[in-house]
Each structure stands twice: as structure tokens, then as C-alpha cells.
Amino acid sequence: WDTQRLGIKAIQKMFWKKRCDAFEKGVKMAQNIHDDEFIAGLMLHWAEGNKKNNAGIANSDARVIRVMVGWFEKYFHVRRASFAIHLHLHSGQDEENMKKYWSKLTGIPTKNFIKSFIKPEGSGYRKNILYNGTVKITPRGPGSTYLLFTILGCIAGYLKRTINEKISIEEWIQRLPYA
């Protein structure tokens, strides 16, 4: 068992180092890129995007999704064919039409859509009728594993540059138990 634990510790240290390297890459990116589109994407990801497990964003506003697909493509070289899309729909919405709508809007092929969630009828009060559903885009493929940590590093680097906030990796990334 001790040999196994040593192996687990070594692996967790290796992955922690990879996360830290990706984070530092993001900090450097934020120091060097000053254009409005990059900053807008950072702020959207910070406010609306995933902060654990993987990069991506969910929203019902088609403009937000279009901006973010272009942002991932321009700044992180994510090809449109590398995104996975997950739809969240209400019962009664035509899933195939929604897939076509979001595919046309984003340029992401319909084959990249994963199983949709369809909210059953009568499952609670509905404040907003989201005619096109909510969509979550997630970059996949080479480099996507550590993309979230690079983006979090970019946000931290931006905060350092704009409000001189001290950068602490542990505030942004959860350390593994043995790392």
C-alpha cells in the first residue's frame, strides 16, 4: 500500500505542476494582450463560465455564445469542430430544430452535440421562456484539459495588471491532497 500511495503522490504532484504551468501561461498572456475582445471574453468567462473541471460557458443568449466561440478560437486556437455542445431545453421544444439553430449560429457541427437535457412539463415555475434553450459549449481535444487553468491564470493576471491584486494560485485552483 505504501508503494501505491507514493505513486499517487507522484502523479498528483505531476498534475499540480501541469496545472500551475498552465496558470502561469495564462498570467503571462494577460500581461501581453490588452485588446477589448480578449478582456470581454475573460470577463464573460469569469462571470458566466465554468470554474471547475473544464473550460466552457453556458448561456441562453446567442450573442454571448457567438462571442465566446470566437474568443476560444482566436485566443486559444480551439477549432469549432472541437467543441462539445449540450442543450438544456423545455418539454415541447423541437430538439432537432434547436440543434440546427445552434449549429448554424456557432458553426459547430451537429455531430458535436451531446445528449440534451429536456426539462419535463410541470417541474416548477417558469419565469423566462427560453425559446432556443440554453446551450453549454465546452472545448475538447488536444490542450483542452489545462485550458481552464490557463483562463483562470489570465483572469488573475488581468486583476494583477489592473488593480495590482496579488496572484495566489491556491485561490484559483484547488490543490490535490498530495500535491
Quick one: cell of 73? 478560437
Question: Number of C-alpha atoms within 13 angstroms, CB side, residue 141?
Answer: 13
3-class SS string, 53-110: CCCCEEECCHHHHHHHHHHHHHHHCCCHHHEEEEEEEECCCCHHHHHHHHHHHHCCCH
By three-state DSSP, how is residue 156 classified? helix
Strand pairing category for 83-90 and 117-119: parallel
Give the number of other CB atoms < 10 A from CB of residue 85.
22
The confidence band for 124, taking pLDDT boundaries of 50, 70 and 90, is low
Query: What pLDDT score was predicted for residue 164?
Result: 95
> pLDDT digit string (tens) for 17-38?
999 999 999 999 999 999 999 9
pLDDT at residue 127 tops 70:
no
pLDDT on residue 84: 97
* pLDDT computed for residue 141 by the predictor: 87
* pTM of full prediction above 0.85: yes
Q: What is the mean pLDDT of residues 151-174?
A: 94
- Amino acid 166: pLDDT: 95
